[in-house]
């Protein structure tokens, strides 16, 4: 596996939130000594620009003229979008280099966001994604719709980041003994991203007989890797328990399994992952 197969891929749009993505991506890339790439995906199907009425019957010459005009407008709009994005991406690259990341590359692609990232994931160790983007001011949503779509499309860890940047100093792993959170413990134990950071393990939800055994395994795995670890089993609603632990223990990075049920189930029952992301309000590493 080459170095390029282990890159950090930061997906950004042309919004102020991209700066927060850049800062966390640079932090992660520097700690892992991994190359960093900023990727901007331009929507393949932009809304029709302008208010012209193109309906009705057209003579052959008029139709050809209209098609030519629309094609020229589309080409000009594409060139302008790419140039605007190029300047924006270069500024993010300089920001990341100043923060200690190297090497740093930039790229633009046309397409759908989740499909494009799915195509890229073979060479990616970590994705970094903002929880909000260009639509945040108009929708007032705390969590962008793209987060679940992207997470379900990928099988790599995804660091979803919030507004502002603070280098993480304390990590909380929401651990439930499942295969995905066990893999998460092993990933934390073996990753340079978390070296030197104290780790809190928290098991919540319904009490189970093998909970203490699972917690002992997770604690020992991290201690063997050299981590300062504390483990807790706190029965109760995971959303409120985790949110309280984040506040009480000064946690600034959460690691948890994500979207483990089908999209159809989430449609009717809501997504616990979304609920946790809204309540946590700190950068969260999603495991798939």
Q: All domains of the chain, ordered by start, with CATH?
A: 3-45+81-161 (3.40.50.620), 171-287 (3.40.50.620)
Count of other CB atoms within 10 angstroms of residue 217: 15
Q: What is the pLDDT, as a whole number, of residue 5?
A: 58
Instruction: Answer yes or no: pTM beyond 0.75.
Output: yes
Give pLDDT tens digits for 59-105: 667 777 777 777 767 777 777 788 899 999 999 999 999 999 999 99
Q: Length of the chain, please? A: 288
Identify which has the larger pLDDT, 221 or 123.
Answer: 221
């Amino acid at each position: 596996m080459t170095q390029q197969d282990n890159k950090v891929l930061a997906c950004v749009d042309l919004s102020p939130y991209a700066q927060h993505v850049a800062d966390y991506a640079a932090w992660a890339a520097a700690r892992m000594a991994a190359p960093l790439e900023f990727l901007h995906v331009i929507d393949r199907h932009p809304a029709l620009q302008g208010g012209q009425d193109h309906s009705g019957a057209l003579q052959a010459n008029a139709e050809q003229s209209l098609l030519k005009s629309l094609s020229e407008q589309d080409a000009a709009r594409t060139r302008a979008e790419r140039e605007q994005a190029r300047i924006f991406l270069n500024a993010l690259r300089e920001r990341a280099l100043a923060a200690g990341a190297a090497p740093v590359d930039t790229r633009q692609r046309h397409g759908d966001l989740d499909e494009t990232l799915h195509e890229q994931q073979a060479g990616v160790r970590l994705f970094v994604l903002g929880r909000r983007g260009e639509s945040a001011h108009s929708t007032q949503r705390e969590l962008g719709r793209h987060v679940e779509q992207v997470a379900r499309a990928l099988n790599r860890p995804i660091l979803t980041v919030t507004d502002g940047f603070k280098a993480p100093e304390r990590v909380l792993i929401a651990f439930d003994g499942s295969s995905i959170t066990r893999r998460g413990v092993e990933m934390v134990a073996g990753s340079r991203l978390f070296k030197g950071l104290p780790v809190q393990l928290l098991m919540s939800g319904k009490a189970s007989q093998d909970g203490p055994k699972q917690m002992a395994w997770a604690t020992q795995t991290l201690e063997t890797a050299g981590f300062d670890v504390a483990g807790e089993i706190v029965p109760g609603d995971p959303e409120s328990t985790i949110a309280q632990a984040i506040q009480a223990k000064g946690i600034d990075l959460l690691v948890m399994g994500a979207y483990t049920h089908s999209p159809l189930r989430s449609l009717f029952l809501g997504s616990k992952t979304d609920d946790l992301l809204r309540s946590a309000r700190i950068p969260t590493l999603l495991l798939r």
